[in-house]
Amino acid sequence: MKNTDKYTRNYFNPPVSEHRWSSQEYISKAPRWCSVDLRDGNQALIVPMSLEKKLEFFQFLCKLGFKEIEVGFPAASETEFQFVRTLIEQKLIPEDVTIQVITPAREHIIRKTFEALDGCRKAIIHLYNSTSVAQREQVFQKSRSEIIEIAVSGAKWLTEYAAKTKGEFLFEYTPESFTGTELDFAVEICNAVLDVWKPQKEHPVIINLASTVSLSMPHVYANQIEYMSDHLNYRENVILSLHPHNDRGSAVAEAELGILAGGQRVEGTLFGNGERTGNVDLITLALNLFSHGVDPILDLSNIPQVVEMYEDATGMNLPPRQPYGGQLVFAAFSGSHQDAIAKGMQWRQSHSGAHWNVPYLPIDPQDIGRSYENDVIRINSQSGKGGIGYLLEHKYGINMPKPMREEFGYIIKGISDHQHKELSPEEVHQIFMDTYLNLQTPIRLDDFYFVHKKEYHTTVSLTVGKEEMELTGRGNGRFDAVSNALRRGLNIRFHDIVYQEHALERGSTSRAIAYVGITSDSQKTYWGCGVHTDIIAASIFALFSAIDRMLTQEQND
């Protein structure tokens, strides 16, 4: 590819040879979460949310369990200002939720921000200014000391206006474009701000290290975070916050490694909405923790509802392969995958209490409001008998014998391949019924009864074409008697009968389902199925269905 010499590595790796974070295997507890959907996410939308939509989304974020929510840039527009005022004046902020607002280090904007917060019980004031080499040289054309002066002045104005405003205020500082900032300068400017605010245990300060533009591999961001954690003043009174963006597609990895490196808090959005390629996806981060047995401290038990709210509020559609939330993320079309999942689920039924370790499923889809039938086992021309059988068994109670399941699997694959489409569970069920269940052509079973002497004697009423007739037969059982009546009365030749039955539902009024396989003189096996409240009737209907399939097939051949 041309022009590779145009690019270089515009980040700064710490001058440290060993990093403690790399020896840690996993994250043992959830960080503090801060949703920035209503600010960072909202400003990235083609059509920003209306006041009403922001209110609805805010309440939904509270319902999910977010305790810190950045609600906007109050000085940026009248809608942003009024949104903050509405939350405060209508007392819509729960007692355990702290709103966050953002402001650059400019006095008139800081003054407007505090006007918006008048009467707020508790809020985080998020101060930022750009610090990277690119921003200093190209945008602001200022020296390091001049950039520090901007940050320090902003910090002093926050202290001044907070003292004049009723409420409890927590301060946050972001050296915006941190990842393109020399680390010694990042430390210097953060410590200069901290020296103004002098955080205490009862009144900590948030230092937010934003990967405003992702410039490096994730481990470098983690190295930067660990270095900052080691060199910040007042460290025991500083909440170290992460704010990764997804330019390189690695925001989740940056956040996870950043937490290992000392990050205590993460700012991000639902499903990663944000400018350019987006913010870090808090849903993925939280459910990654969940998959390791760590409580994410968010209620994500109904992901379809979260997706619905997200799409409605943002006007965007979630990609089908988006981790956890996408329509196809649990879907198994491959026959071998479906078979492994089905066997894994069967294994769990006989090993109660076992930790989740089902093939191809990192978490149980049901834990986040997804279903096996609609989200996991998906049927198309690549599907196998295991997945098709699992779907019919768990959604409709149909547990076919293994050879019948294999035959039906090929039928479904053929139909899906011919129609060039996925088949829904309802379609698969209907195909099963049309193919096997209580068939009446070319022979229709009308009635039957038995007399038991030394053997079972039966009279069977049936219709062949348009002709009604009665057949008699006897055998050592009811099923045997009917089979013999058909062989003798219609000269139908079959042998090696395979029979299986079970209850289709539970309870005294449940129906029985029976499966019958018969082998013709050509050594081909034909399957039929019968359903009835009486198990004997179900088995006889299944026998007639198998015979009807045999006669139809042999006639067509």
d(CA 210, CA 451): 85
The yes-or-no verdict on residue 392 having pLDDT over 80 is yes
Q: Classify residue 140 by its DSSP letter.
A: I
Pick from 184-188, 282-286, 417-421: least confident: 417-421
In tens, the pLDDT along 437-469 reads 999 999 999 999 999 888 989 999 999 988 999
308/344 Cα distance (integer angstroms) = 30
Find, among 119, 96, 120, 93, the residue nearest to 38 by Cα.
93
What b/e readout covers 112-123, taking b as 16+ CB neighbours within 10 angstroms?
Answer: bbbebbeebeeb
Burial class (CB in 10 A: 0-12, 13-18, 19+), 73: buried
- Per-residue pLDDT band for 325 (boundaries 50, 70, 90) equals very high
The alpha carbons of the chain give a radius of gyration, in whole angstroms, of 34
Measured between alpha carbons, how far is 198 from 200 in angstroms, rounded to an integer? 7
Q: What single-letter amino acid sits at 386?
A: G
pLDDT score, position 89: 96
- In which band, very low, low, confident or very high, does the pLDDT at 185 lie, cut at 50, 70 and 90? very high
**Comma-separated ranges of CATH 3.30.160.270 domains in the chain:** 443-556
The pLDDT score that the predictor gives to residue 505 is 78
The Cα-based distances of 92 to 55, 89, 134, 269, 313 in angstroms read: 9, 8, 41, 21, 19
* CB neighbour list of residue 7: distance below 8 Å, 6 or more residues apart: none
Q: What is residue 381's predicted lDDT score, i.e. its pLDDT?
A: 65
pTM > 0.85: no
What number is the average pLDDT over the span 507-533? Answer: 90
Mark residue 247 as left, alpha or beta (left: phi above 0; alpha: psi -120 to 50; beta: remaining): alpha
| pLDDT value of position 504 | 85
What residue has token string 């990042």? Answer: 186
Element (H, E) at 230: helix 218-231
338: number of Cβ within 10 Å: 28
Q: How confident is the model at residue 384 (pLDDT cuts 50, 70, 90)?
A: low
256-278 tens-digit pLDDT: 999 999 999 999 999 999 999 99
The mean pLDDT value of the chain amounts to 93
CATH class of 31-314: alpha beta
pLDDT tens-digit readout, 214-245: 999 999 999 999 999 999 999 999 999 999 99
Domain with CATH 3.20.20.70 in the chain: 31-314
The per-residue pLDDT for 509 is 67
Range 443-556: architecture per CATH: 2-Layer Sandwich (3.30)
